[in-house]
C-alpha cells in the first residue's frame, strides 16, 4: 500500500501570519502515519520551510517553470522551489490550465523539470462540468493522464491528483461512484504503462474535500489521499482531514 498523502494547496492566500498554522498542524500530528504537505504561495516557501523544520509537515510549490532559469518574468523554477525548502510541486492545476492556458505538453515538461530538481511532481487533471455531463469524463481524464504524466514516472517521483474542475472551490463533491470509476481507470492506465510503479503511485482526489466528507472519500478504492484547497488554510480544518486518512 502506498503511504497516504494529505496535501494542502493554499493558492493565492496567506501572508506571514499564516505561518502559525504550520506550527499548529505539526503540533497536532507529531508522528503521523501519513504524509502531510502544505503548498503555500511562493512568497511564503522559505519562511514556511523554516517554520516546518522539526515538524512532520512537508512544504511544496504550487507551480514551476519547465526551464531551469532564464528570461521568464514572474516565474519560479523547480530548482528555486527546492532551494527554498520544497519537496513537492503541484503541476497542471486546473486554475493554471485555465488562467494560463497550460496544456498537457506544458504540464509534462514541468513534471520533468520537477524531477530534475529532486521534487515530487503532483500532476493534476480532471474534467469540466460540460465534459462530465456529455459523458466524456473518462476519456478526458485518460487523455490528460497520457499527455501530462511523463515517461519515467515512478511511485517515488510522481503523484496524480484527480480534480474534477466542477468540484474545485464550489462545495460540490464528486460522489464515491464517480470518484471510484475515475480512480480505477487511472490505476489501470498507470499500471499498464508503468507496471508496479503505476500500481504503487499515489492517487489523490481533490474538489471541496472537508472534514465532513473526507472519510467517505478515503474509503473509495485507489484513493490514496486528497489535494485540499479551502479546507487546508486553517490547521483546525485540515487536521481532521489528516486524521481521517490515518
Provide the binding-site residues for ligand PEP, judged by CB under 6 A. Answer: 9, 11, 163, 168-169, 206-209, 227-231
Q: Are 128 and 158 in contact (CB under 8 A)?
A: no
Q: What are phi and psi of 197, to 5 degrees?
A: -60, -40
Let me know if 93 is a catalytic residue.
Answer: yes
CB of 228 to ligand PEP, least distance (A): 5
Closer residue to ligand PEP in complex, CB, 153/174: 174
Instruction: Answer yes or no: is 225 a known binding residue.
Output: no
Is 169 known as a binding-site position?
A: yes
Closest separation in Å from C-beta 137 to ligand PEP: 16
| Spatial distance between the Cα atoms of 122 and 89, rounded to a whole number of angstroms | 6
For 79-142, give the DSSP string: HHHHHTT-SEEEES-HHHHHHS---HHHHHHHHHHHHHTTPEEEEEE---HHHHHTT-HHHHHH
Closest distance of CB 201 from ligand PEP, Å = 18
Secondary structure class of 36 (helix, strand, coil):
strand
Residue 18 marked in a binding site:
no
End-to-end CA distance of the chain: 13
Of 79 and 132, nearer to ligand PEP (C-beta) is: 132
Active-site choice (29, 93, 183, 222):
93
Residues involved in catalysis: 93, 163
Known binding residues:
9-11, 169, 208, 229-230
Amino acid at each position: 500500500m502506498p503511504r497516504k498523502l494529505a496535501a494542502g494547496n493554499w493558492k493565492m492566500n496567506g501572508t506571514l501570519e499564516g505561518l502559525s498554522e504550520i506550527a499548529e498542524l505539526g503540533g497536532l500530528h507529531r508522528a503521523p502515519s501519513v504524509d502531510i504537505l502544505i503548498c503555500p504561495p511562493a512568497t511564503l516557501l522559505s519562511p514556511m520551510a523554516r517554520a516546518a523544520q522539526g515538524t512532520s509537515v512537508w512544504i511544496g510549490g504550487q507551480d514551476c517553470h519547465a526551464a531551469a532559469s532564464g528570461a521568464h518574468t514572474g516565474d519560479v523554477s523547480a530548482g528555486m522551489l527546492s532551494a527554498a525548502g520544497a519537496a513537492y510541486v503541484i503541476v497542471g492545476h486546473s486554475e493554471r490550465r485555465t488562467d494560463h492556458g497550460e496544456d498537457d505538453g506544458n504540464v509534462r515538461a514541468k513534471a520533468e523539470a520537477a524531477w530534475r530538481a529532486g521534487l515530487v511532481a503532483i500532476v493534476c487533471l480532471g474534467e469540466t462540468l460540460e465534459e462530465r455531463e456529455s459523458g466524456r469524463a473518462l476519456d478526458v481524464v485518460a487523455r490528460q493522464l497520457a499527455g501530462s504524466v511523463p515517461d519515467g514516472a515512478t511511485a517515488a517521483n510522481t503523484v496524480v491528483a484527480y480534480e474534477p474542475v466542477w468540484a474545485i472551490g464550489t462545495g460540490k463533491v464528486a460522489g464515491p461512484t464517480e470518484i471510484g470509476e475515475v480512480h480505477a481507470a487511472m490505476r489501470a492506465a498507470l499500471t499498464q504503462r508503468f507496471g508496479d510503479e503505476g500500481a504503487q503511485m499515489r492517487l489523490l482526489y481533490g474538489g471541496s474535500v472537508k472534514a465532513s466528507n473526507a472519510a467517505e472519500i478515503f474509503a473509495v478504492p485507489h484513493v490514496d489521499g486528497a489535494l485540499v484547497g479551502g479546507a487546508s488554510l486553517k490547521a483546525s480544518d485540515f487536521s481532521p482531514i489528516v486524521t481521517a486518512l490515518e
